[in-house]
Structure 1
């Protein structure tokens, strides 16, 4: 996969980068309407199941899609609220069952996150409205950085879009959905 959508990607040591933020949604319908207006299109439905594996640093997950394909995604990003740099590598697979079996045996499984995702493209930003099983509704912004764009530029874009979508600072969350589920005791293998 050369592109992830929503703009150009940057490769540093084989890794791409974007600026991300995650927020709990109090008014999911209002944010959905604002995302549709900003993107000029209805969201694309992407049901996903992410299996997370034990790794010494960063996060490694196998994302499954309903078409039977998958993507192995490794990423590193700080566990802090607000916009932050995420560096990631994605490898597609046509055999997610086989890959999961090998990774589970070699590394162990931390848990599975299941979600219904609506994707909107707003300029270089991927706007995700996620309904996460066991957690509720969230917004995730991924500002895909081009090679000549700074992290500060991505943070500015994320903050501006956050305000346009009506998300407040107190709605921002840290970590991954897996972390929130683990803290709740609601992760399934």
Structure 2
């Protein structure tokens, strides 16, 4: 499955109200911890890939994110598998090294096939992610237009092209 995603910096209280006004319903609110791993023989930052374990509500899932394609929105292959919390230890035993841990408080909103996440990310601030899954590359352009139209309706202006991991590592490396 391809994921088309656009991220913005925003005031979540304002976006929350706008979403309700546009007919979005709150699906859930949860705290998530994302642990990103580096392979011992492969530099995922150089290949623009990511390997993540997300722990939410005591349940862990493993996600592989392939290299980004296109330039209008972050579009990439995403494969997620759920497993027990012990999956982190399995990865460590296989020689993978944790790169970063990103903690966030997330609210999910849905209307039709569009999912909106309001994120308070520890050390990074507040963000809105708007995403729509598509079955093939031919659907990406239309999905990007739909996502950007909603972002405009929500008053979102400050688009963020970096992933949370990239933002986190940029701050960590700069010593801020």
TM-score category by the smaller chain?
Answer: 0.7 to 0.9
The Cα of 1:116 is off from its aligned counterpart by 0.4
Unaligned runs of 5+ in 1: 1-15
Q: Going by fraction, where is strand more abundant, 1 or 2?
A: 2
SS of the equivalent of 2:25 reads coil
2:80 to 90, 93, 96: 90
SS at 2:17 equivalent? helix
What is the TM-score with the length of structure 2 in the denominator?
A: 0.85
TM-score, length of structure 1 as denominator length: 0.79
Deviation at 1:145, TM superposition (A): 1.5
The equivalent residue for 1:36 is: 20
Q: Secondary structure at the match of 1:167?
A: coil
* Residue-by-residue CA offset, 1:21-56 (whole Å, 9 max, x unaligned): 11111x321111112222442352021000000143
The 8 Å contact of residues 25 and 111 in structure 2, kept in 1 or not, is answered as: no
Deviates more, 1:102-111 or 1:37-46: 37-46
Q: Give the corresponding residue for 1:23.
A: 8
* Paired position in structure 1 for 2:50: 59
- Residue matched to 2:65: 75
Q: Does 1:176 align with 2:163?
A: yes
- Structure 1 Cα separation of the partners of residues 24 and 115 of structure 2: 13
Contact 2:2/2:136 (<8 A) preserved: no
Aligned to 2:102: 113
Q: In the alignment, is residue 102 of structure 1 matched against residue 86 of structure 2? A: no
Instruction: Please state how far the C-alpha of 1:147 moved relative to its aligned partner.
Output: 5.2
CA distance in 2, matches of 1:30, 1:134: 21
Runs of 4+ in 1 over 3 A off after TM superposition: 79-82, 146-149
Structure 1 residues 110-119 or 171-180, which shifts more?
171-180
Q: CA RMSD in A?
A: 2.2
Range moving further from structure 2, 108-117 or 177-186: 177-186
